[in-house]
Chains A and B, each alone.
Chain A
């Protein structure tokens, strides 16, 4: 069974400093991994995805994430935080469901709230 653990429920940084949002996963097979961002009262927007190609994945708005199989991690980073980055971030793992076919099961982490201080 797959699972996702976002290690911090809340991260606070100052504007211009680096951002690190941590995600660990467990999966029986080779998973696909995603990071999404959610601003208040909005839907989720895809930041980036890993699908077994390059282990360092670049996304939108200067974010990137590195897939480390040995550590079962997929941490999200950004070199310099901007005020507009304040939002909630979700790590998601996707793998084929037990019934096979085209059924893919998505598991969401519980989210990390990023606060950016001026």
Chain B
């Protein structure tokens, strides 16, 4: 079955450490996205990529980095510069057209102490 796989589901890190969240899709979608979800705030866009080897900052990119070396993969690194990294992170993909819905992974819950 086609879909998006995020791993791990839960991640724990010490403050000051970088951590990378994995996102893989086999839907042959061009566009991929990373969102951060905090209680009562909806989803906020961190980074997005419309094509391999290209990506754009979203609304809250500070303290995060991404790469898009393969169409199927869009890993997100949460760096030590991110002031409040504890959150639920969602990866999504789409055909990058106005009426194309997003397909979401099941998320990674990151806790930094």
Q: A residues engaging B (CB < 8 A)?
A: 9, 31-32, 34, 36, 41-46, 49, 51, 90, 94-96, 102-104, 106, 108-111
Query: Is the Cβ of B43 less than 8 Å from the Cβ of A90?
Result: yes
Partner of B99, one of A42, A49, A108: A49
A94 to B45, CA, bound (A): 13
Nearest opposing residue in chain B for A9, CB measure: B40
Q: Is the CB–CB distance between A45 and B109 below 8 Å?
A: no
Tell me if B98 and A94 are in contact (CB < 8 A). yes
Alpha-carbon separation in the docked complex, A31 to B99 (Å): 9
Chain A-chain B contacts (Cβ-Cβ < 8 Å), number: 56
Q: How many positions in chain B have a CB within 8 Å of any CB in the partner chain?
A: 23
- B residues neighboring A (CB under 8 Å): 4, 6, 40-43, 45, 50, 88, 90, 92, 96-99, 101-107, 109
Pairwise interchain contact B98-A41, C-beta atoms closer than 8 A: no
- Say yes or no: A43 contacts B106, CB within 8 Å: yes
Which B residue's beta carbon lies closest to that of A51? B99
Given the contacts A44-B90, A44-B104, A95 and B98 also touching, CB distance less than 8 Å: yes
Supposing A51-B98, A102-B50, A102-B96 touch, asked if A43 and B43 sit within 8 A by C-beta, the answer is no
